Structure 1
Amino acid sequence: MKERPKHRFANLPEGGENPLNYAVTQRDRSTLAMVTDAIAHKQTLLAYQPVMRNVADDKVAFYEGLIRVLDPTGRVIPAREFMPVVEDTQLGREIDVLALRAGLMALADNPDLRLSINMSARSIGYKGWTTMLNRWLNRDATIGERLILEISEQSAMQVPELVANFMEQLQSRSICFALDNFGSGYTAIRYFKDLYFDILKLDGQFIRGISRNPDNRALVSVMLSIAENFDMITVAEQVENEEDSRLLTSMGVDCQQGFLFGSPTTRPYWTVNTQERKKMTGFLA
């Protein structure tokens, strides 16, 4: 009788029996290592994107600060390439702290700036995050009046009662809240009466190409009705062309954000000299 061969995967590393799983595992490990190294060496920064209040007049309502990390070569890495891997880890909380710190510093240095910063429900109650926020608010009360905290729909609905209590505490300090990526998850509308979001950001999957998609127009109309009933300002995300922009304005969307108005930049107008500012029309509101 022939000797049975040893299992052909016996000496493969974890996940190696499936090439796809192995590749994903190695990628995630590499991403975690990159983010860990970036945090340790303070290689993080914000990229700023305008949210337009009046599209026709190039009026900016506020800017969104988007966290970025630098890889070992100095390349700027957007959040979409690392947040899905780190968001449920301790690194995710540390990233939230660094984003908040950078945003608060920008607000302190620029009294006319209004800025939104992304956070996750995972950071509620996290000592490093709350200590950072309270320190800056106690130093300058006007920061709270100009700060918007964005929480994604998916994150908010994981612990809605905790989010509601958190919002109630901070709204007394004039901080606004935005529900990000609305429509991408399964929001329980019944929580809206308890959460008191000031801003509803409509997920980009319903906005891109809306002028050619009647189904998305119908869905966005429903979202706008919800926002109106709960007295929330609406922001359409990922607006990329004039045709979509005009339609959204006619539908009653309050603000728009997307590449049509400017891509995220790590060198916003308030960091450049006067001569350069004059060239950056649309960013001088």
Structure 2
Amino acid sequence: MNERPAPVAQENALAPNDPLAILNSIGEVVYTWDIPSDRLEWGPNVRDVLGLPAAAVASGAAFNDLHAPDSRASRFETIMKSQLRDQGAGVRYNIQYGMRIDLPSGERAPTTWIEDTGRWFADQNGKPVRAHGVLRNFSAMRNDGQTSVLAANFDPLTGTLSRTRLAEQVSRQLENAKRRHSNFAFILLGIEQLSEINRRFGFNVGDELLAGLGLYLRSQLRITDAIARYAGNRFALVLESCDQQKMLAAGRRLGKLIGDRKFDTSAGPMSCSVRMGGLVAPTDARSVQTIFQHAEEALLTSRSRSAERFVAFEPSLALNDRKRRTQAMADAIVSALNDRRISIALQPIINAASGQPALYEALLRLRLENGDVMSPAAIFPIAEKTGLVQLLDRRVLELALERMSADPTLHLTVNVSSMTLHDIGWVDQIQALLAMHPGTAGRLVIEITETCAIEDIESTCRAIGDIKALGVKVAMDDFGAGHTSFRNLRRLQVDMIKIDGAFIENLTRSADDRFFVRTLIELAKHLSIPVVAEWIENRETADLLTEWQVDYFQGDYFGAASEDAARGRAQSQVSAA
């Protein structure tokens, strides 16, 4: 936000109860917009609120020119594209948007965030002709506890756009590009070896590196470009009016700048190595989901080519072949759902203190028409890509609740995907299914992955709160695989943590894994969150985890997942162990 000009001493100073003094104290200014003439008149305190003279924003067009490109709303679009009708009393609006007001030095200024409340009025033909309202500058309120709007739109760690706002930004860019017959670039940038940095130096250092890179990337982009926290170690860049040649040049430039730079952290100056994948839209993709998918494919390709730090998406025979395989798998999933060939296998989760099963994880099994059974690892990537994962998640939950209704002593955990968790109707579906199976809510645990949780931390917090309000517990699965910060883990308020099995698998052979797992356990203990260790395959690993006071064990050593008489067989295995 611009620094407010020093107040000029006036002969007739405003009294404390003067309306203008009150408006200044709360950062508000009134305005009237005559739409046919585009004349925009402001209250006398416009300079105090915006740091601009009234002459600089004397028209709707001049005001709209200051609109930040990464905002999801504007006054002009809200009024001129409104589907509401003026019935004689005007039409109320309340919107939030950002403005870019350059500093006197000409330097790029941070976004000034505005809340705009008013009414617009129409002529006899229903066309908007006048609007008046109150504009409030709430950028200064970030430290006053009034952060709900900002928190929903921005990643709290890096200050970049949230995943939700990114989707809105890309959607708006698609509309503009189609209307103007232009292109824009979408680039995914991933930090290499962030997991290793977290393991060696701690999550706080990893967070500092992410925050530093986010700030640096923002400083290197044009005012019309946008940057968002895509997920975990990845940022997304949206470059307006950019063809492939410009995109490649921008990618090479950013890669070199980042590679040559040291980022300050509490562990000392740290280098940062990145890889990038990008595409030009709408040339390479015409929907938000396809843009994300193609960029992920390009980034994945860059990771497999040691010499290429930036890879541009391009259709290929291999990609077309992959699409055919994807379609075949999607058809198999739909067929299995229709023919009721989806089932669940139960794997015990053992109470470390008693040595007995405390609950079981319900794992999806898909049986093909020829009788072969497919594992979740082969199913879910395709299901997520084709939009079928929500149907699978619902079916697994249905089967789990049926088992629990039949056995009142059974406690189950059920995995849900990111797409399902962030679906606005998912909690209602859970509630409806629980109503069909009374008494099961308190015995059900919903598992979400760490990566899923941090894709949109605000949305995840709301979803977890809604699920827990139903009496259902929530566990974070694959903990340690993503990059959840300590403060976000506290905010999420999960009931259980399941440490990623990749770190447990080599526990007896890797000193780094032992250090990392002990760190995760101590963190969870500090937050009073029970810990489950997965993928336990031998006695040595179990003994080590017992020494570190892990609460629950899971893995083939204590019982493999089984569809038939799963609980009986698992019980005997636990007793034998």
Does TM-score exceed 0.5, indicating one fold? yes
Structure 1 residue 235: deviation in Å? 0.6
- Looking at structure 2, the residues matched to 74 and 232 of structure 1 have their Cα atoms a distance apart, in angstroms, of 41
Bigger shift: residues 43-52 or 81-90? 81-90
Distance 1:48 1:94 in 2: 20
Could you tell me which amino acid in structure 2 is paired with residue 194 of structure 1? R
Q: Which has the higher Rg, Structure 1 or Structure 2?
A: 2
The answer to whether 1:47 aligns with 2:345 is yes
Taking structure 1 as reference, are residues 89 and 16 closer, same or farther at Cα in structure 2, changes over 3 Å only? Answer: closer
State the match for 1:29 in structure 2. Answer: 327
Q: 1:91 to 1:219 in 2, by over 3 A?
A: same
Alignment correspondent of 1:75? 372
**Secondary structure at 2:505's aligned position in 1?**
coil
Per mean C-alpha deviation after superposition, the further-off stretch among 141-150 and 109-118 is 141-150
Q: Kindly provide the CA deviation profile for residues 94-146 of structure 1, in whole angstroms up to 9, marking residues without a partner as x.
A: 11110111111111111000000001232236477444421232345521110
3-state SS of paired residue (1:243): helix
Where structure 1 has 5 or more consecutive residues not aligned to the other structure, the ranges are: 1-14, 271-276
Which SS does the other structure have where 1:211 is aligned? coil
Q: Distance in 1 between matches of 2:421 and 2:496?
A: 19
Spell out the pairing of 1:1-150 with structure 2 (5 A cutoff).
18=317, 20-54=318-352, 58-124=355-421, 126=423, 129-150=426-447
Q: Distance in 1 between matches of 2:433 and 2:570?
A: 33
Alpha-carbon contact 1:52-1:61 (below 8 Å) kept = yes
Structure with the larger RCO, 1 or 2 (CA within 8 Å, 6+ apart) = 1
Separation of aligned partners in 1, 2:451 and 2:422: 18
Percentage of matched positions with identical amino acids? 26
Using the alignment, how far apart are the partners of 1:258 and 1:202 within structure 2? Answer: 12
> Contact conserved, 1:269 with 1:283, CA < 8 A, in 2?
no
Residue aligned with 1:154, SS: helix
Any idea what SS the aligned residue of 2:483 has? coil
Within 1, Cα distance between the matches of 2:428 and 2:324?
A: 35
**Would the aligned equivalents of 2:431 and 2:470 in 1 still touch at CA under 8 Å?**
no
Higher deviation after alignment, 154-163 or 95-104:
154-163
Structure 1 equivalent of residue 518 of structure 2? 221
TM-score after normalising by structure 2: 0.43
Shift of 1:78: 1.0
Letter of the 2:445 counterpart:
I
- 1:87 partner SS: helix
Aligned to 1:281: 572
Q: Which position in structure 2 is the counterpart of 1:12?
A: none
Counterparts of 1:156 and 1:174, CA distance in 2: 20
| Partner SS for 2:564 | coil
Kindly state the Cα deviation for residue 190 of structure 1 after the two structures are TM-superposed.
2.2
- The alignment partner of 1:97 has SS state of helix
Q: Amino acid of the residue matched to residue 350 of structure 2?
A: M
Q: Unaligned stretches of 5+ in structure 2?
A: 1-313
Question: Deviation at 1:17?
Answer: 5.0
Say if 2:531 is the partner of 1:234. Answer: yes
Please tell me whether the aligned partners of residues 52 and 60 of structure 1 are also in contact (alpha carbons under 8 angstroms).
Answer: yes
Assess, with a 3 A threshold, how the Cα gap between structure 1 residues 242 and 47 changes in structure 2: closer, same or farther. Answer: same
Range that drifts further, 232-241 or 137-146: 137-146
Give the equivalent residue in structure 1 for 2:6. Answer: none
Structure-2 change in CA distance of 1:278 and 1:98 (3 Å): closer
Q: Which amino acid is 1:281 matched to?
A: S
Q: Is the 8 A contact 2:559 2:573 kept in 1?
A: no
**Match for 2:561: what amino acid?**
P
Output the TM-score relative to the length of structure 1.
0.84
Q: Quote the Cα distance in structure 1 between the aligned partners of 2:423 and 2:513.
A: 38
1:203 aligned onto 2:500:
yes
Residues 1:97 and 1:140: Cα distance change in structure 2 (over 3 Å)? closer
Specify the SS of the correspondent of 1:149. strand
State the Cα deviation string for residues 197-256 of structure 1 (Å, max 9, x = none).
111100011001201211100000110111112211101111111111111111121111
Change (3 A) 1:176 1:205: same
Instruction: Count residues with an aligned counterpart.
Output: 262
**What is the SS of the residue equivalent to 1:82?**
helix
- 2:151 matched residue in structure 1: none
**C-alpha distance in 1 between matches for 2:392 and 2:326:** 16
Do the aligned residues in 2 keep the contact of 1:204 with 1:238 (CA within 8 Å)?
A: yes
